[in-house]
Amino acid sequence: MNGYSFPGLGLACIFEPMRKRVQYTLLLLALLVSVNSFAQNYYRDSVVQFYGVVLTSDSLRAIPSASIIVEGKGRGTFTNQDGVFSIAVLKGDKIRFSCVGFTDESIVVPKDLNGNQFSVIKLLSNDTAYLPAVIIRPRVTREQFERDFINNSVLDDDYEIARRNTSEAQRRIILNSLPADGREAVNYQLRQQSGRYYSNGQLPPQNIFNPAAWASFLQAWKRGDFKKKN
């Protein structure tokens, strides 16, 4: 091979892998475009405009504010004052109709539906609720009624509970029972450390000569903090 040169061989070795990569890239792009087009056409064909009216089964009166829920999708709508509704769903979705005082009903949008519209007239039956019987008897005498009325315990409302919990005595109990939070603990440690640094190299100050400490002691004495508690 000595003495011979092949000037086109080096360029062919360089451009041949690039040409294959370009072909693979174009093939992949064509595949993605075809899949995306198929998915869009399939989704467009599966969307259905579902509409209709909800009526009572006995008198054919409109049921306003009835719930139309697409189960498992977290979507839904309500009927207007005339019982009319409209919502976009997919073929094969299960639709549930519900309203207070009526039994729930469900239908399934057909998967082989021709077109993209589906209308229904849904009749809901009354849901009868039977409550246990209650017998009301009067008091035997007026004196018995007055005694029971006075001794009857009435539960506190929210205002009374809030007033009792915000009283000064209750706040003192809560303050003494709660542990110190992070801010209070850090401040306590900083005050202790500051006191040690202040008296570093000398005797610490004695609170017996501190007027503020004596004033705090006298106030505690007047409050009775040092009395024995049974």
Residues 6+ apart with CB under 8 A from 29: none
Of 40-44, 183-187, 206-210, which range is least confident?
40-44
Q: pLDDT class for 15, splitting at 50, 70, 90?
A: low
Mean pLDDT, residues 153-167 taken together: 83
Tokens (6 digits) for 186 = 């850090």
The pLDDT of residue 6 is 46
Give the domains, in start order, of the chain with CATH numbers.
Answer: 47-124 (2.60.40.1120)
C-alpha dist (Å) from residue 105 to 71, 124, 127: 12, 7, 12
What 3 state SS string does the chain have?
CCCCCCHHHHHHHHHHHHHHHHHHHHHHHHHHHHHHHHHHHHHHHHEEEEEEEEEECCCCCECCCCEEEECCCCEEEECCCCCEEEEEEECCCEEEEECCCECCEEEECCCCCCCCEEEEEEEECECCCCCCCCCCCCCCCHHHHHHHHHHCCCCCCHHHHHHHHCCHHHHHHHHHHCCCCHHHHHHHHHHHHHHHHHCCCCCCCCHHHCHHHHHHHHHHHHHCCCCCCC
Please provide the average confidence, as pLDDT, over all residues in the chain. 80
Q: Cα(23)–Cα(17) distance, rounded to whole angstroms?
A: 10
Q: pLDDT class for 174, splitting at 50, 70, 90?
A: confident
pLDDT at residue 229 above 70? no
pLDDT at residue 147 above 90? no
The pLDDT of residue 62 is 94
The pLDDT of residue 185 is 84
Q: Nearest to residue 100, comparing CAs of 68, 130, 65?
A: 65
More confident residue, 166 or 230: 166
Of 26-30, 39-43, 98-102, 168-172, which range is least confident?
39-43
Tokens (6 digits) for 45 = 């064909």
Q: pTM for the complete prediction?
A: 0.42
pLDDT tens-digit series, residues 74-97: 889 999 999 999 999 998 899 999
Is 53:122 a contact under the CB 8 Å cutoff?
A: yes
Q: Cα(123)–Cα(63) distance, rounded to whole angstroms?
A: 9
pLDDT tens-digit series, residues 107-129: 999 988 888 899 999 999 998 87
